[in-house]
A and B are shown apart, each in its own frame.
Chain A
Amino acid sequence: MTPSTPVPLPAPNRLDLLAAMLRIRAYEEKIVAFHAAGPFPNVCTSVGQEAAAVGVVSALRAEDQILTNHRSAGHLLARGAEPGRMLAEVMGRSTGYCQGRSGTLHISVKELGVVLTSTIVGGELSLAPGVALSRAMLGGEGIVVCFFGDGAACEGIFHESLNLASVWNLPVLYVCENNQWQAFVHRKETMVGDHVAPWAAPYGIDSLTVDGNDVEAVRKAALHAAAQVRETRRPFLLEAWTYRQRGHMEPHDQSYVDPAELEAWMAKDPIARLEARLLEAGELTTDGLEALHAQARQAIEEAAAFAAASPYPDPADLATGVYA
């Protein structure tokens, strides 16, 4: 594993990284609160994985494209998606990014370069080489980032995807968020070895494993990985070693989780770690921190209000837009 020695970034950037993570946490906590309050669509939250999302997405450029999966809120919010339109999508409203037809699981936002979201585990891996092929053939400097998990790495399509991206020299940055859980099963039960990164080498693909709960380390590793892809126009695999702090989906259930493991990972919470670092460095006061939290919560409250006030799609449009 790469040592997670933080590379000092200019102070505003460290605060920006924190603010971005707080926004994601506030968003996910709002969804948890919605669930506590009554029936609400099932959602797979990314609580605990905020550093992986923010660290990677902060290293990307506007022209880059992202493919993501069912645990996508962090990637979308880090990329600048409006939480109101995301929550509207989750709640099936017509103001959602996909007009309420995606729900939480398949949100894509073309204008932000979040091009395709498949929630079939491994689906994003099947689509990524084609998006990168378009980049390669139609020109443009951008790279394609594909977020997936350790569960998807155990799908055959992971291996097909890496092989093809390698033999065709496609600019794909594969980002595996190894969150230790494959739906309701710990990866120790179902996966050989602890890490996915070593699986890249047989395909001639360079890789790096990073402490996925250290946003600065992730950002540094992602800058390196993205630079490699930009320069070589070849794939690279970055593994973020992280932890899913909640159950597979809401409503939340962790009865199958080893409490000791959970406790150990909660102590490595990515947000708390950066906060401690910033407080210690004197870049943030406790008042300032509280203000950042309040700001994030406020933005999500406004987003939730927007979503809740948004209309449902017209049932008359149920079967429109299936075909071009």
Chain B
Amino acid sequence: MTQMIQMTFHDAVEAALHEEMARDSRVLMFGEGTATKRKGLLKAFGPQRVRNTPLAEGIIAGTAAGAAATGLRPVVDLLFAPFLCFAMDELVNSAGKLRYMSGGQFSFPMVALAMTGGGWSVGAQHNHNLEAWFVHAPGLQVVMPATPADAKGLMKAAIRDENPVLFFMDIGLAFAPGEVPEADEVVPLGKAAIRREGSDVTLISYAKTVHTCLAAAEALAAEGVSAEVVDLRTLKPLDEATILASVRKTGRAVLVHEASRLCGVGAEVAALIAEQAFEALKAPIVRLTGPDAPAPSSYPLEQAFAPQADAIAAAARQLVARTLEAAPIW
């Protein structure tokens, strides 16, 4: 049986980096404060493979893309997700497109790491859940794990993948501990996880709000409502089969994320369900998301920005009650 050890999300990512750098000499890491903050990696792999960079996201991401196209497998730390705005050309136009545009002559095996989400009162220029932007960009893959074990396993998968991966870490989870397998376990990209099985309603989420959904599911269970919780883990490629199977089973879907609603991941998942599992739906699809507003710094406001467990439970309750008492609206 795999030995499990307690580890924070942050340390789980570091453990994955350590293992992958030991496994493959082409893997290197650079970014803002990388060598300063990741002393263990620096000690183990030296200053050639663990580097500090200028605070210049464009050239960090561009250098990663250039290196990835010509034989290295870089991981870059861009710190906070809004800083990715400075690296959009390099990530979207170069890393995402140049494989296709070159007729497959080049691949871009690279990982861009960034933190986002409420929890540190850092305000909207450090906290902006913009993961859906990258889902929309061809050639890029996007992961956003909810547990330290997934953080480790998905980072390992991302580093081994031949395509560029955006790896978002939820700030609110960064120092939350969890069980992590000590062994070399890869969590494949594109596979969702059923965090809790249920039969009445499916709560679909990713990152921090998976835990909010689990809390809501617990409250619902006390009332006799059985909620299934799906953790997407990878936002692109999306595990459509797991989403559809769950919704076909429960007939109801609540989509939950901290990112704002318009054109968010929830919109895509809702469209998928409507297109492919419409006949299974017993009630309309519901989305609970952050508002169309910059994330505030004030702690209570920042916490209120993300969907809350009682609101999720209320939404699920309403869906279940509605279909018990009335015929579907369509």
Contacts and interface: CB of A to CB of B under 8 A. Distances in A.
B63 to A, nearest CB: 4
Contacts of A310: none
B105 to A, nearest CB: 4
A321 B93 contact: no
A102 B138 contact: no
B104 to A, nearest CB: 5
A25 B256 CA distance: 59
A209 to B, nearest CB: 24
Interface string B76-103: 0000000000000110011000111111
Contacts of B264: none
B54 A163 contact: yes
Interface in A66-110: 67, 96-102, 106, 108-110
Contacts of B106: 108, 110, 115-116
Interface residues of A, number: 44
Contacts of B54: 160, 163-164, 167
Interface string B35-67: 000000000000011010110101101111111
B298 interface: no
A108 B94 CA distance: 13
Nearest to A323: B163
Contact of B72 (A99, A125, A134, A161): A134
Interface of B: 26, 28, 48-49, 51, 53-54, 56, 58-59, 61-72, 74, 89-90, 93-94, 98-107, 109, 138-139, 141, 161-163
Contact of B102 (A106, A126, A138, A164): A106
A170 to B, nearest CB: 9
A133 B163 contact: no
B59 A157 contact: yes
A120 interface: yes
B101 A127 contact: no
Contacts of A101: 100-103
A157 B58 contact: yes
A129 interface: yes
A161 B59 contact: yes
A324 interface: yes
A213 interface: no
A127 B53 contact: no
A295 interface: no
Contacts of B72: 130, 133-134, 137-138
Among the interface residues A99, A131, A163, which one has the most CB atoms of the partner chain B within 10 A?
Answer: A131
Contacts of B104: 99, 321
Contacts of A123: 62, 89-90, 93-94
A129 B68 CA distance: 11
Interface in A144-160: 156-157, 160
B66 A134 contact: yes
Given A115-B106, A126-B90, A127-B62, A65 B48 contact: no
A228 interface: no
Interface in A5-64: none
**Minimum-distance CB pairs A-B, first 4:** A130-B66, A126-B62, A324-B162, A99-B103
A157 B62 contact: yes
A324 B107 contact: yes
B103 A98 contact: yes
A196 interface: no
Contacts of A138: 26, 70-72
Among the interface residues A65, A67, A130, A161, which one has the most CB atoms of the partner chain B within 10 A?
Answer: A130
Contacts of B53: 164
Contacts of B162: 323-324
Contacts of A109: 105
B89 A126 contact: yes
B102 A102 contact: yes
Contacts of B56: 160, 163-164
A42 to B, nearest CB: 16
A156 B89 CA distance: 12
Contacts of A264: none
Contacts of B28: 137
Given A108-B102, A160-B56, A323 B139 contact: yes
B70 A160 contact: no
A134 B66 CA distance: 8
A79 B161 CA distance: 32
12 contacts: A98-B101, A102-B102, A106-B101, A106-B102, A118-B94, A123-B94, A130-B63, A130-B74, A134-B72, A321-B99, A322-B99, A322-B139
A210 interface: no
A116 B69 contact: yes
A128 interface: yes
B103 A130 contact: no
A126 B94 contact: yes
A127 B69 contact: yes
Nearest to A97: B103
A167 B48 CA distance: 13
A324 B67 contact: no
Nearest to B28: A137
Interface string A250-292: 0000000000000000000000000000000000000000000
A132 B62 CA distance: 12
B161 to A, nearest CB: 8
Contacts of B141: 323
Interface string A157-194: 10011011001100000000000000000000000000
